[in-house]
Amino acid sequence: MSGLLGGMLHPLAMPAHVLALLAIGLLIGQHEQRFIPLAAFVAGLAAGLGALASAFATTAAANVLLVVTTVSALLVALAYPVPVLVSVPLVAIAGAALGVDSPPEAISIAVAIATLIGTGIGATLAVAIVAAGTGFLGRPWQQIGVRILGSWIAASAILVLALRFVRGQLL
């Protein structure tokens, strides 16, 4: 999966990334002011993809992303009004980890760069759409649905972290 379109679909093809995008999108969507955390996510994502393009890679990125996903999803489940000072670094770290954890499978530099740009666009669109959709869900039962979804994501991420620990992939 390479090229601009392949890059756009890349975050949606990885279950761990889908969980992260959902959790971050829901968290941003619960905010009154969505633009600032969304901008922080995009900035973190750009930094992560930029680092990847500069040949920086770390296997810890996937674990960092899982931890941030867990925290974000728990905050969604609790529906706790998170201050911007907390949510901005959280989503920025998520963006950076997601970027670094998205190495392109490309055979040329041009295709690799196109793939990374596509990944950035795809991930940003996914988070923006989830956040905007969440913002529209104003009725109490809809907000409850968002919280339940948050608890499902958090539970899944917690189990994955435990499994990665047992398999020696966490530390």
42 or 75: CB nearest other proteins: 75
CA distances to 56, 57, 111, 150 from 79, rounded to whole Å, are: 36, 34, 41, 9
Per CB under 8 A, 16 contacts other proteins: yes
Per CB under 8 A, 81 contacts other proteins: no
Rounded Cα distance, 118 and 33, in Å = 26
**From candidates 43, 47, 113, 151, binder to other proteins by CB under 8 A:** 151
Tokens of 24: 């971050």
Biggest CA–CA distance in the chain, Å, is: 50
Per CB under 8 A, 19 contacts other proteins: yes
Rounded Cα distance, 127 and 23, in Å = 9
**What minimum distance in Å lies between the beta carbon of 95 and other proteins?**
19
Note the residues at the interface with other proteins (CB under 8 A).
15-16, 19, 74, 77, 144, 147-148, 150-152, 154-160, 162-167
